[in-house]
Amino acid sequence: MKVSVKYFASLRELIGEASATVEIEENTTVDALWLSISERKNVEFDNVMMTVNMEYVKPGCRLTAGDEVAFFPPVTGG
Amino acid sequence: MKVSVKYFASLRELIGEASATVEIEENTTVDALWLSISERKNVEFDNVMMTVNMEYVKPGCRLTAGDEVAFFPPVTGG
Amino acid sequence: MLVDIRKESFNAYQEILSYQASQDFSGKCGATASFVGSMRDFNDDRKVTSMTLEYYPGMTEKHLNAIAREAIEKWNLLDVLILHRIGKIKIGEDIVLVASWSAHRKEAFESCRTMMEQLKSSAPFWKKENTTAGSKWVEKNTSG
Amino acid sequence: MLVDIRKESFNAYQEILSYQASQDFSGKCGATASFVGSMRDFNDDRKVTSMTLEYYPGMTEKHLNAIAREAIEKWNLLDVLILHRIGKIKIGEDIVLVASWSAHRKEAFESCRTMMEQLKSSAPFWKKENTTAGSKWVEKNTSG
């Protein structure tokens, strides 16, 4: 199945792209997706924040076809 | 010795005047002054606040000639 | 630092704008916290039509200045603005403005709220509410 | 309730004035607390010349709207205004505005500060500081 992935800020720069469509197996968790992406891109990043469909999720959250997943560093607004 | 006395808000209305010059004995405390005024004016008032020369004082504060004493109800600004 | 007692009505945010325009906080100030108290048409369950605010000329100014100076020192603020109305106040008019300028937000928030609580509990002002059933002195401020 | 992301610079207090003029709080609102965060020319010990703010289109608006709605419900507020800059920000420009309108001061103060802390800890914005020594992402917000 396919999910869309977005990256922001320093993580976007490290990954080298702002978004991608990724093919994953069913029942993949969001942290497993991050692990495979970070290994493939050879990116090390502590404290990555994860959202699915614009809501913060725990690492074990299982993905569904068509989900919008985002990975980004700690937020620094305000 | 003489001190000047001011009254504010509901206490001013109960006393019937905004200020007065009062003759007191040396070493009179501010609460003794209030007791004599409230008895003379026949005014009962809980929670009277007291200042001497525009600073809040404790009841036992001793007065000095020329002091500006004020008695007023709890403040309600803001 | 500006502390002022106003007989005439004022617009709190216009006052902040004018005050900021007269100062040079730009680049140094990261955080401004402000509080505006305005005249409601009710208090507890009473319908209020207007209000008269009495003060203690001399002491009120002195007391508010002390509140502002102590806050600037305690929280290392860039500046403080305190305005308070006296006299007859109509529904919707601003009664009080307290604003703190700081490098950081924690100091701005804490100083603004503390100054407002100090003002409420100890600055010599007294409100008399005019209701459809007559006039009445407000006996006590609600705790913050 | 108004939550808005701004590409162009804004003046926070002018925005409060315009928003108030468009609403009818008069007589109901006794207390307004507001916080304005502005662009400083330093952070820790670095000299900063400008800043670029990135956000997550869609999620940022959704998240700020949730913060505002929950505050209105929790503190029974009359209204909330949240504005946040994105893009390139110059020294002295306003970055964020959070304002709460309430009948009472306790609710105004607490909701304003809580919304600001929630925004700082969870709203998807990222700052990149441009200094005389190059550009650098801010790694972490200071705690409030």
Which CATH number does the domain housing residue C52 bear? 3.90.1170.40
- Choose the mutation target among C9, C10, C34 for the interface with D, i.e. most D CBs under 10 Å: C34
Q: Is residue D35 part of a domain?
A: yes
C53 vs D132: CA distance, rounded Å? 53
Chain A residues lying within 8 Å of D37, measured CB to CB: 78
Q: Is residue C79 part of a domain?
A: yes
Sign of CA dihedral C92, C95, C100, C101: positive
Q: Is residue C24 part of a domain?
A: yes
Q: Is residue A61 part of a domain?
A: yes
Q: Is residue D102 part of a domain?
A: yes
Overall domain count for chain B: 1
Of A73, A61, A72, A74, the C-alpha closest to A24 is A61
Chain B residues in contact with chain C using a Cβ-Cβ cutoff of 8 Å? 6, 8-10, 51, 54, 56, 70, 72-78
Task: Say if residue D41's pLDDT is above 90.
Answer: no
pLDDT value at position D144?
79
C117 vs C99: CA distance, rounded Å? 13
Mean pLDDT score, D10-31: 93
Backbone φ and ψ of A60, nearest 5°:
-80, 0
Alpha-carbon radius of gyration of chain C: 16
User: pLDDT averaged over chain C?
Assistant: 95
pLDDT value at position C26?
81
Q: Is residue C56 part of a domain?
A: yes
Overall domain count for chain D: 1
Quick check: D7 and D83 in contact, CB under 8 A? no
Q: Is residue A23 part of a domain?
A: yes
User: Which chain D residue lies closest to C38 (C-alpha atoms)?
Assistant: D30
Q: Is residue B12 part of a domain?
A: yes
C85 vs B78: CA distance, rounded Å? 9
Task: Say if residue D45's pLDDT is above 80.
Answer: no
- pLDDT above 70 as % of chain B: 100
User: Which chain D residue lies closest to C98 (C-alpha atoms)?
Assistant: D33
CATH number of the domain enclosing B44: 3.10.20.30
Q: Is residue D41 part of a domain?
A: yes
Chain B residues lying within 8 Å of C123, measured CB to CB: 75, 77-78
Establish if C20 touches chain D: CB-CB under 8 angstroms: yes
pLDDT tens for A15-69 read: 999 999 999 999 999 999 999 999 999 999 989 999 999 999 999 999 999 999 9
Q: Is residue A77 part of a domain?
A: no
Q: Is residue B27 part of a domain?
A: yes
Q: How many CB pairs under 8 A join A and D?
A: 71
pLDDT tens for C16-71 read: 999 999 998 888 889 999 999 999 888 777 789 999 999 999 999 999 999 999 99
**Domain region containing C127:** 2-132
Contacts of B15 (CB under 8 A, 6+ apart): B7, B37, B41, B43
Establish if D104 touches chain C: CB-CB under 8 angstroms: yes
The minimal CB distance from C123 to the residues B8, B70, B75 is found for: B75
Q: Is residue C141 part of a domain?
A: no
Q: Is residue C140 part of a domain?
A: no
C83 vs D143, which has greater pLDDT? C83
pLDDT value at position D27?
86
Q: Is residue B65 part of a domain?
A: yes
How distant, in Å, are the alpha carbons of A7, B30, B76 from that of A18? 5, 74, 57
Of C82, C108, C110, C80, the C-alpha closest to C96 is C82
**Domain region containing A23:** 2-72
Q: Kindly indicate the confidence band of residue D142, based on its pLDDT and cuts at 50, 70 and 90.
A: confident
D84, A78: Cβ pair inside 8 Å?
Answer: yes
Q: Is residue B77 part of a domain?
A: no
pLDDT value at position B51?
98
Mean pLDDT score, C81-85: 98
Mean pLDDT score, B57-74: 97
Report the gap between the CA of A27 and the closest CA in chain D (Å).
24
Establish if D96 touches chain A: CB-CB under 8 angstroms: yes
Which of the other chains make 3 or more beta carbon contacts under 8 angstroms with chain D?
Answer: A, C
Task: Say if residue C5's pLDDT is above 80.
Answer: yes
Establish if D97 touches chain A: CB-CB under 8 angstroms: no
C126, B6: Cβ pair inside 8 Å?
Answer: no
pTM for this predicted structure: 0.95
Report the gap between the CA of C106 and the closest CA in chain B (Å).
23
